[in-house]
């Protein structure tokens, strides 16, 4: 059974949100398919009580903190404690360091953090070697993202018969991005296909408020512009058969396809945008003039048009003429 641990709430100590936001964040993580949520002590103390639903892990620095904060499903620490309720964490920054795991075979459960360079190696062979060395231990893999491949490595670990991975929302802790791994698992092996990912915009909003940051417009799964389509042929193909270009339906993650008009757009894209805005379709001569002005404007401004800018160009061309339309 696959177990996804999200450790985002171990990274908010410098910007702790309200208790209400923490509760909501936890509940939404479980909603999208996270199995266990990991807390720092500071985040846990801010919440005062854990939500009744779900499993929780506490990240501790010292052994006596385990007894001080009872009631958790597991505890994560780099202390030398070997108990059923403890996940021993070890940092590995180089794939060549896996030989050091031979000294850790007595631990019942380990979390391996790092191995950023694994994507540059024969990762399947290295993963099999890790499992061979730690054949008697439960292994939790938490790849870091120095080379931009942490989500891919987390996915490969699962596809290579690993069961436990640790990620963070939007890759906040320089780990694989929770939402990317969950979606990839859904597409690759239909893992938890009934989980509700439409709450991701709400989760993103809370995350941005807590961190006082803005997730990039092109960020996979979460970016607000990832479903925008500009190119004419692309737009026409997507209109006829979305599966041609989209790996998954935008509605799965609370998004929707948006046709954007820019310098690469053609006549098909303009007609689609006119239909989308419930505007009449002009005669061909006017459409050609609209297309020319769009390309000129977008080239000059070095950006696509929003709907208001598009409407202004259309009205400029047809405003002083008797509108002739066809449908």
pLDDT of residue 14: 87
If you average pLDDT over every residue of the chain, what do you get? 88
d(CA 207, CA 213): 8
Calpha distance 228→262 (Å, rounded): 11
Q: Which residues are CB-contacts of 259 (< 8 A; sequence separation ≥ 6)?
A: 228, 229, 230, 235, 239, 269, 272, 273, 276
Q: In this predicted structure, what is the pLDDT of residue 255?
A: 87
pLDDT digits (tens, 9 = 90+) for 39-97: 999 999 998 888 888 999 999 999 889 999 998 999 999 888 878 899 999 999 888 88
Query: 0.75 cut: is pTM over it?
Result: yes
> 202-206, 235-239, 298-302: lowest mean pLDDT where?
235-239
**In the prediction, which pLDDT does 208 show?**
95
Band of residue 279 on the pLDDT scale cut at 50, 70, 90? confident
Model pLDDT, residue 325:
44
Q: Judging by DSSP bridges, how do beta strands 74-77 and 138-143 pair with one another?
A: unpaired
Tens of pLDDT, residue by residue over 153-187, are: 999 999 999 999 999 999 999 999 999 999 999 99
Q: Which domains does the chain have, with CATH numbers?
A: 3-211 (3.20.20.70), 228-318 (no CATH)
* 235 neighbors 265 (Cβ within 8 angstroms): yes
**pLDDT at residue 177 in the model:** 96
pLDDT-derived band of residue 231, with 50, 70 and 90 as boundaries? low
pLDDT of 324 over the 80 cut: no
Token duo for residue 98: 């896996």
What's the rounded mean pLDDT across residues 127-150?
Answer: 93
């Amino acid at each position: 059974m696959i177990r996804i641990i999200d450790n985002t709430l171990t990274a908010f100590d410098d910007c702790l949100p309200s208790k209400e936001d923490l509760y909501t964040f936890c509940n939404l993580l479980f909603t999208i398919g996270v199995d266990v949520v990991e807390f720092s002590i500071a985040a846990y103390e801010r919440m005062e009580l854990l939500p009744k639903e779900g499993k929780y892990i506490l990240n501790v620095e010292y052994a006596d903190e385990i007894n001080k904060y009872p009631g958790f499903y597991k505890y994560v620490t780099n202390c030398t404690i070997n108990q059923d309720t403890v996940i021993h964490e070890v940092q590995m920054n180089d794939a060549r360091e896996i030989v050091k795991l031979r000294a850790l075979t007595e631990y019942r459960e380990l979390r391996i953090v790092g191995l950023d360079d694994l994507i540059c190696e024969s990762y399947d062979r290295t993963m099999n070697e890790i499992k061979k060395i730690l054949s008697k231990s439960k292994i939790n893999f938490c790849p870091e993202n120095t080379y931009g491949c942490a989500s891919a490595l987390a996915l490969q670990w699962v596809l290579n018969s690993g069961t436990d991975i640790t990620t963070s929302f939007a890759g906040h802790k320089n780990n694989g991005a929770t939402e990317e791994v969950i979606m990839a698992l859904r597409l690759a092996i239909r893992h938890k296909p009934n989980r509700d990912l439409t709450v991701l915009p709400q989760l993103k909003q809370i995350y941005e408020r807590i961190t006082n940051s803005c997730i990039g417009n092109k960020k996979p799964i979460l970016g607000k512009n990832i479903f925008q389509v500009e190119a004419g042929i692309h737009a026409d193909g997507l209109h006829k058969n979305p599966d041609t270009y989209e790996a998954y339906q935008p509605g799965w993650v609370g998004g929707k396809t948006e046709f954007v008009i820019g310098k690469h757009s053609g006549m098909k894209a303009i007609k689609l945008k006119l239909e989308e805005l419930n505007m009449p379709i002009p005669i061909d001569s006017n459409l050609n003039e609209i297309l020319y002005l769009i390309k000129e404007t977008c080239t000059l401004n070095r950006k696509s048009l929003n709907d208001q800018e598009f409407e202004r160009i259309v009205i400029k061309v047809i405003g002083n003429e008797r509108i002739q339309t066809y449908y």
